Amino acid sequence: LSELLEYEQDLPSETPDEHAMPLMVNTGLAVEATAQLKNRISGVGLYRTEVPFMITERFPGEKEQTRLYREQLESFSPLPVVMRTLDIGGDKDLPYFPIDEANPFLGWRGMRVTLDHPEVLMVQLRAMLRASRELDNLYVLLPMITNVEEVDEALKLLDRAIIELGEEGVRVERPPVGVMVEVPATIYQMDALAERVDFFSVGSNDLTQYLLAVDRNNPRVSGLYDALHPAVLSALDELSRDARRLGRPISLCGELAGDPGGALLLMAMGFTSLSMNAPSLPKVRAAIRRVTLADAQQLLNEVLRLATPTQVHQHLEARMDEWQ
Ligand code: PEP
Ligand code: MG
């Protein structure tokens, strides 16, 4: 990092016209390294619980999971830690839980797996709740939601876990719960979802793949995979408006948040926080500190009128160069 960029990292993530844009990190392993960033971030926007599950030989038990989650919650306390329930399937297979399907990204993934295996989800929820005792910074996030019934079912299991623990003498409150907006169907169910949950988190990696019908990992079609596609941007803009209308915070935790130009557009749309991999923080913070909210909104208006991904990239690059 240049000295300037390094120096800026301890300054607030705020535009020159004083609009604060909270930045969060995505975590999986290596808690210690990211926890060092505690003073520079607003919390963990996405803890991918499947990551530690990938390096074990079987499903970790409740005790082991409690230890893992406690480590996350303690390391970042009092900042919020958004823990996503197990999001396996798609490209993320556990060696001890193989899923063999013709279309894994359209198949048994995320919440679909854990609702079919409530015994797995219950252990995880109980461990999260146990780990959160007296810390109060746990947020639970549900991946791959397609229908509101899935949310209702997950909430029922969460409440059951709370009751069970209470009966065992472990008193815990229900943590705030959010859904991942990554299946396009959720775009059209924001009202019903907001009645059930406390916050939204957009998974732009999957939302892009599903909106554009482009496998996020297939090199043959990677030229078509683009989170700055006008259709994706217009969906994101609409989501942010809906969340605001419904009085729910909306974060974005896909790769787009870690792209400085993308981050400015998301800020202009009104996203309440951005969560990214730690190495992206410096360049995103620098972009935010250089561009006023008014300028970012002007840029968004210009970009939303463009018809092709190429035009969006060219326009964004030109403006980013001016702001260097
Ligand atoms: C996403 O889909 O954008 C996301 C953040 O989740 P993952 O990359 O783990 O699918
Ligand atoms: Mg996803």
Summarize pLDDT for 181-220 with one digit per residue, the tens: 999 999 999 999 999 999 999 999 999 999 999 998 999 9
Summarize pLDDT for 159-177 with one digit per residue, the tens: 999 999 999 999 999 999 9
Tokens of 181: 């907006």
The residues near 135 (Cβ < 8 Å, ≥ 6 apart) are 73, 74, 77, 78
- What integer pLDDT is reported at residue 242 of this predicted model? 98
Which ligand 1 atom is at minimum distance from the Cα of 50?
A: 9
**CB 48 near ligand 1, within 6 Å:** yes
Rounded distance from Cα 66 to ligand 1 centre (Å): 23
* Closest to 97 measured CA to CA, from 105, 87, 106, 84: 87
Which ligand 1 atom is at minimum distance from the Cα of 203?
A: 3
Residue with CA closest to ligand 1 atom 9: 48
Locus of tokens 């808690």: 31
* Closest to 306 measured CA to CA, from 297, 315, 294: 315
The pick from 26, 48, 146, 275 for probing ligand 1's pocket by mutation, whose C-beta has the most ligand atoms within 8 angstroms, reads: 48
- What integer pLDDT is reported at residue 289 of this predicted model? 96
Tokens of 288: 């935010």
Tokens of 260: 């400085």
* Number of helices (H), then strands (E), in the chain: 14, 8
- What integer pLDDT is reported at residue 324 of this predicted model? 80
What is the band of 32 on the pLDDT scale with cuts at 50, 70, 90? low
Check pLDDT > 90 for residue 129: yes
The pick from 26, 106, 145, 182 for probing ligand 1's pocket by mutation, whose C-beta has the most ligand atoms within 8 angstroms, reads: 182
**Coil/strand/helix, residue 90:** coil
**CB 50 near ligand 1, within 6 Å:** no
Radius of gyration of the chain (CA): 20
Rounded distance from Cα 70 to ligand 2 centre (Å): 24
Rounded distance from Cα 115 to ligand 2 centre (Å): 17
What pTM does this model have?
A: 0.96
Summarize pLDDT for 227-269 with one digit per residue, the tens: 999 999 999 999 999 999 999 999 999 999 999 999 999 999 9
3-state helix, strand, coil split of the chain in percent (to 5) is 50, 15, 35
Check pLDDT > 90 for residue 36: no
Q: Which ligand is nearest to the CA of 143?
A: 2
Rounded distance from Cα 287 to ligand 2 centre (Å): 25
The pick from 85, 86, 206, 271 for probing ligand 1's pocket by mutation, whose C-beta has the most ligand atoms within 8 angstroms, reads: 206
- What integer pLDDT is reported at residue 117 of this predicted model? 98
Check pLDDT > 80 for residue 135: yes
Q: Which ligand is nearest to the CA of 207?
A: 1
